[in-house]
Structure 1
Amino acid sequence: MASNPTATAPVKRACDSCHRRKVKCIGEGTAPCKNCVSAGLACTYNAIPQKKGPKGSRAKVLSELRENQRNAQIAAGYPSDLGFDGRSLSATFARTPGLLAPGLVESCIDYFFAHVYPSEPVLHRQRAQEAAMNMDRSTEAYCAMVALCAYVMIKANMKVSPNVLPRPEMAQMSNVGIGHVLLEESVRVRQGYDYRENPTHLTVLTSWLYSGCYFGLARENTAWAYLRDATSQAHILGMHDEDTYKHDPMDISRKRVLYWLLFIAERNFALHKHRPISLYPTIHPPSLDEVPSDRPIAAGLELMINMYKIIDDTFVNLWNRIHTHANPAWIAQLQTQLAEAVPAYLDCTEAQAVEIRVTQHWLRAQAWQLCVTQGLVSSVTSDSPLTFKYPIEISRDLLTMTHQFSQQSMEVHGAGLIEKLFDVACCLTDVVAVTSFSPDAFALGPRDYVQRFLTLISTLRGGQSRYLPLLLAKLSEVLPNLPLPRSLNLPQGVSTSSIGLPGTGSPTVPSNVSDDFSAMAAATSPSYPSNDLIRRLAAQTGAQLPFNASQHSTYPAPTSHVEDLSLYDSSHSTTHSSGSVPRSTSATPGPYEPSMSQSRTQIVGHSTMQIPTSHPQHNHMQSHHAIQWTPT
């Protein structure tokens, strides 16, 4: 029988994935097509053919297909005998409708580039805007942008305009409260896809943002866990290898910045919480040459990097007590490096200058504590960093410097910068408590510096509720007779009578206290988990501890040469230590150059009342609870 000449072979239909990506489907019978095999996609024919529409980006479509199939596989992968309904999994990780209005995202991006970017240039504005536009199609972009919004609210003190909030009642919440809602949203949604197996630059950035947010909420263990996530993802991507940085300069420069910020954050945790380090200075510093206006930012960032390079394996191993003996020559060289790490004049933004200066003095104080643990501190040495009075010099330099900066430029760095101020204040308090000095009626002394730290920390957002109670508790234990400044702002829950102040002219609680950190730190200092430092100082100076010493330190105090313990004289108000910034040769200091003239009345106004020997602030601390969001 003759065949019908008009008969035609059946038209082969493209599989769902090839049709969605608009590529030629190369199928072989019933086997999956070559494109699906190559892309790791399921080859199906379930979609109903529709009319043709405009073509889209194949890369974006491929990413979306993989993500949707992963979510479907996860939801279907739970055995029914476990009593888990896989159908509810997608709802568990679903985005909250209407939570992130476009206006809110735009305002957060603008705030980030105006206030945070000069210190943390981890994103190009173009890339941030692309991620914002891609939020509807990409879970990774959505989580990153929500985390960015949370970050600028929690850490950088962004106040949200009510007209960009999804619900009117959110206008009554603090910026930290709104940021916490967004943070929990991002973390929850991110759990719905496998971001660990194939991380990207955006994956590392999101983990780093989470870490910063949780640190701002005083959840330091969670912050550390997310920082370790970020460093592990950075290792997977080869961000520690210089050969990785050979392609698109726009993205590569920001990856360099992110690597170095992780490098710095890891060392901060090592010094605060005795954590290990895993990142090393194995790549070049960022240049940011593709944007000429960013070059001063790159210069400031390189100063920060160079300071933290000094905190090497030798330092961290001694700090974490992995090694027990340090070379005195190495310690002396370390202090010299820190003293010379920052020039007298900084050509950078005010926010960068604050962070650089505070970090330098904080690292000097940390290195001095290492000297104490090694028994290298003496009252007869001519080397200032190895004397008992060195924290007094550091405090003088630090307080003189901070007097010149705006409150906004300090608060934009969040709790991390305040914690450094707090650490230096605690170190100074220990020195003042167990050593004698000769006060001068016409110059500021060590006790004045302690009072100035109280005033400074109480005025900074997050300092009043999180660190001031800890510092007051420490003072009540080791310096119970120290007068408090009249201008001191007390945190909520601490009555004026409980710290020995009269009702008239007593410290006041500012009206914006509700905008402060709602998360409270534990009732121990982050860097001072015990009284080891003061015990070592007392043992080395022969002084009596100002508190009950029935609980002895587990670390024996090394011996030191102690003769004259007079730590203060009038010359300190005009003479710099080797680690301080030299006086300007002009009548007016250069930008962000410390001024050395400051009257006693400018720095401290204090009452004659005293701190009691006990402090009840621990009873008033409240734990931070997650905030639930229910869409309308």
Structure 2
Amino acid sequence: MVSPQDFGTSSLSPASARVASPAAEHGSPRAHRAKRSQVSRACARCRRLQKGCSERRPCDRCCKVGLGNQCIDRDGSEETTTAQGCSPTQLHDLSLLSRPSMHAIPTFVAAHTLDLCVDRYFSHLFPTIPILTPPYVSRITALCLEQRSDTWVESACLLTALSALVVLQVEKPTEYSFAGLVSETNGAYGRALLDRALQYRHRLPVKPRPSLELVILTFLIYACHARLCRHSQAYFFLRESATLLLLYDHQHDKADTEDCLEETQVSDIVFRRLFWIILISERSNAIRYRRPITLQVTKAVPGLDEILIADASLVGFRHLALLFRPLDTSFFALLNGEATCHNPSCEELAGIEMAIHSALEPVLSLHDTQKANLRVTQLWLRIILWQIRLRLGFLSETRYPASSSYSYPLELAKDLMLSTRDLPIESMRVHGIGLTEKLFDMACAVVDVLARVPLSVSQPPLELSFDPLQSLRYLRRLMSDLPGGTAVYTDLLGKHIEDTLPQIVL
């Protein structure tokens, strides 16, 4: 496999590409000491830091720290810029990057490896992350092979990030799924692909109107970081993908490709799916980490029923979007404890719970991965609503309604055990650490209820028709088989049990 440094070798400095002189060929003493390449003019930042600079503009050092757009050649003034906002040296560098050469590679992944990753995406990740379609993948692959249009580098990064996500989330990290093609383990190879995509993602020029490929690329990078438990980096790219989606002018993009109806239809399908996928991911992340949201459900957003017209197999994805649709900005203001938030009534919270409950209908044609994600997510959202009721003082000792009782999490944990114990573990493992975190939240709520939090002497002992410890044992065992469970969350749950219920032995 060609390393990322081999990409675009035509952009190497003239000093490094200079042909050896005849004197060097005849054994001249000068040939034993290569002349050091001199950079005639360092940028202002490197000169101020007294660091080595490069001839490329923006220079490599500024690009590495994300300050490429601030790379200045002379103190206090930038080079003359063009109408597009790029300096002549930047345009020259971009032209070298986009120019086909015998050493340039269309993607940063071997062709056969890319084919395997694309197949694995559609067979394992597509049921819950249905962004891409086969025609769209074929189109951006053709852009990379022909190195045409101004977005082919973005397409190459997109395919690299897609391969990284498949390797990290579908394959087992300690195994070798690409034997004969890659000498590294799946975990090491996936991280290498992610680093490669990030390297060229930072080198892409900033545009006032981002492309659809850039939005998808940014979201895939978020998904990779989330799989690796890099929570801060994941949130950064998730928020950036949501912002880029708002800046993306879908109508302008459709006008640019109106001469090709088929290409317009493909982009339109991908855009509709992408909006709801980012919305679901952003709201799920906001609940887990108590953060604000960016995307709103307005009358102008693509409808969920329109998505099903293109592919009837997305019915599970539609139900997943319906779970998060009733959670608006006022809900997150309440969840995050904003000073100006409106405290809802019991009826308003009951309305949200009813919408979450009715989002899942008896559907027979669901993939196992969809069943696992839908069942866990629905019960997890009910736990979140129960925690809000607990904070607002809406819970009571009565068992009716069940959602307002102190023992409600025990009922939900039992429902989770009964609804997921027949599903294969791979159908849950493919969702990554996000599903593990939801199970952890549910298990902690069960522990809190068993410890009678809030504690009151007048509370009678819980009278249940089942053993709640059985559900707790199931949750802990299930977490240990999922990504991040053994490394992080089972130990955290054990510590919580030890601090809260030291007398219980699981």
Give me the whole-angstrom Cα distance separating, in 2, the residues matched to 1:252 and 1:429: 46
Judge which range, 82-91 or 211-220, deviates more.
82-91
Match of 1:448 in 2: 470
Question: What is the DSSP-based 3-state SS (H/G/I as helix, E as strand, rest coil) of the residue aligned with 1:278?
Answer: coil
Match of 1:419 in 2: 437
Do structure 1's residue 108 and structure 2's residue 125 form an aligned pair? no
Match of 1:35 in 2: none
**Paired residue type of 1:432:** L
Give me the whole-angstrom Cα distance separating, in 2, the residues matched to 1:96 and 1:401: 51
Deviations 1:578-613 (A, max 9, x none): xxxxxxxxxxxxxxxxxxxxxxxxxxxxxxxxxxxx
Question: What is the DSSP-based 3-state SS (H/G/I as helix, E as strand, rest coil) of the residue aligned with 2:395?
Answer: coil
**Paired residue type of 1:275:** R
Q: CA deviation at 1:230?
A: 0.4
Match of 1:237 in 2: 248
| Aligned partners of 2:108 and 2:157 also within 8 Å | no
Describe the shift of the 1:318–1:346 C-alpha distance in structure 2 as closer, same or farther (beyond 3 A).
farther
Q: CA deviation at 1:366?
A: 0.5
Match of 1:563 in 2: none
Match of 1:185 in 2: 196
Q: CA deviation at 1:289?
A: 5.7
| Aligned partners of 2:330 and 2:342 also within 8 Å | no
Q: CA deviation at 1:177?
A: 2.5
**Paired residue type of 1:228:** R
Match of 2:343 in 1: 325
Give me the whole-angstrom Cα distance separating, in 2, the residues matched to 1:150 and 1:478: 40
Do structure 1's residue 343 and structure 2's residue 361 form an aligned pair? yes
Judge which range, 421-430 or 98-107, deviates more.
98-107
Match of 1:303 in 2: 319
Pick from 334, 348, 368 the counterpart of residue 386 of structure 2.
Answer: 368
Q: CA deviation at 1:325?
A: 2.1
**Paired residue type of 1:218:** C
Deviations 1:144-183 (A, max 9, x none): 11100111122233665333534x3x1xx2x232211111
Match of 1:87 in 2: 55
Match of 2:237 in 1: 226
TM-score norm. by structure 2 comes to 0.73
Pick from 388, 409, 418 the counterpart of residue 427 of structure 2.
Answer: 409
Give me the whole-angstrom Cα distance separating, in 2, the residues matched to 1:96 and 1:466: 42
> How large is the Cα RMSD of the aligned pairs?
3.0
Please list, as runs of the form range in 1=range in 2, the aligned pairs for 1:195-594 lying within 5 A after superposition. 195-238=206-249, 248-282=264-298, 283-286=301-304, 287-288=306-307, 291=310, 294-297=311-314, 299-322=315-338, 323=341, 325-380=343-398, 382-434=400-452, 437-438=461-462, 444-484=466-506
**Paired residue type of 2:373:** E
TM-score norm. by structure 1 comes to 0.59
Describe the shift of the 1:402–1:96 C-alpha distance in structure 2 as closer, same or farther (beyond 3 A).
farther
Describe the shift of the 1:196–1:476 C-alpha distance in structure 2 as closer, same or farther (beyond 3 A).
farther
Give me the whole-angstrom Cα distance separating, in 1, the residues matched to 2:391 and 2:247: 37
Describe the shift of the 1:162–1:284 C-alpha distance in structure 2 as closer, same or farther (beyond 3 A).
closer
Give me the whole-angstrom Cα distance separating, in 1, the residues matched to 2:224 and 2:211: 20
**Paired residue type of 1:151:** L
Name the % identity. Answer: 25
Question: What is the DSSP-based 3-state SS (H/G/I as helix, E as strand, rest coil) of the residue aligned with 1:261?
Answer: helix
Deviations 1:415-446 (A, max 9, x none): 11111111111111111112664567xx6412
Match of 1:78 in 2: 43
Match of 2:164 in 1: 150
| Aligned partners of 1:155 and 1:415 also within 8 Å | no
Deviations 1:229-251 (A, max 9, x none): 1011101114699x999972221
Question: What is the DSSP-based 3-state SS (H/G/I as helix, E as strand, rest coil) of the residue aligned with 2:496?
Answer: helix
Describe the shift of the 1:90–1:140 C-alpha distance in structure 2 as closer, same or farther (beyond 3 A).
farther
Q: CA deviation at 1:196?
A: 4.5
Match of 2:20 in 1: none
Describe the shift of the 1:189–1:315 C-alpha distance in structure 2 as closer, same or farther (beyond 3 A).
same
Question: What is the DSSP-based 3-state SS (H/G/I as helix, E as strand, rest coil) of the residue aligned with 2:303?
Answer: coil
| Aligned partners of 1:439 and 1:445 also within 8 Å | no
| Aligned partners of 1:304 and 1:356 also within 8 Å | yes
Q: CA deviation at 1:130?
A: 3.3
Give me the whole-angstrom Cα distance separating, in 1, the residues matched to 2:132 and 2:409: 38
| Aligned partners of 1:399 and 1:452 also within 8 Å | yes
Give me the whole-angstrom Cα distance separating, in 2, the residues matched to 1:284 and 1:300: 17
Describe the shift of the 1:145–1:198 C-alpha distance in structure 2 as closer, same or farther (beyond 3 A).
same
**Paired residue type of 1:456:** L
**Paired residue type of 2:131:** V
| Aligned partners of 2:440 and 2:479 also within 8 Å | yes
Q: CA deviation at 1:133?
A: 4.2
Q: CA deviation at 1:290?
A: 6.6
Describe the shift of the 1:105–1:164 C-alpha distance in structure 2 as closer, same or farther (beyond 3 A).
farther
Give me the whole-angstrom Cα distance separating, in 2, the residues matched to 1:202 and 1:99: 16
Q: CA deviation at 1:281?
A: 1.6
| Aligned partners of 2:42 and 2:53 also within 8 Å | no
**Higher helix residue share:** 2
Bigger radius of gyration:
1
* Structure 1 unaligned blocks of 5 or more: 1-74, 485-632
**Paired residue type of 2:178:** P
Please list, as runs of the form range in 1=range in 2, the aligned pairs for 1:129-140 lying within 5 A after superposition. 129-135=138-144, 137=147, 138-140=152-154
Describe the shift of the 1:365–1:76 C-alpha distance in structure 2 as closer, same or farther (beyond 3 A).
farther
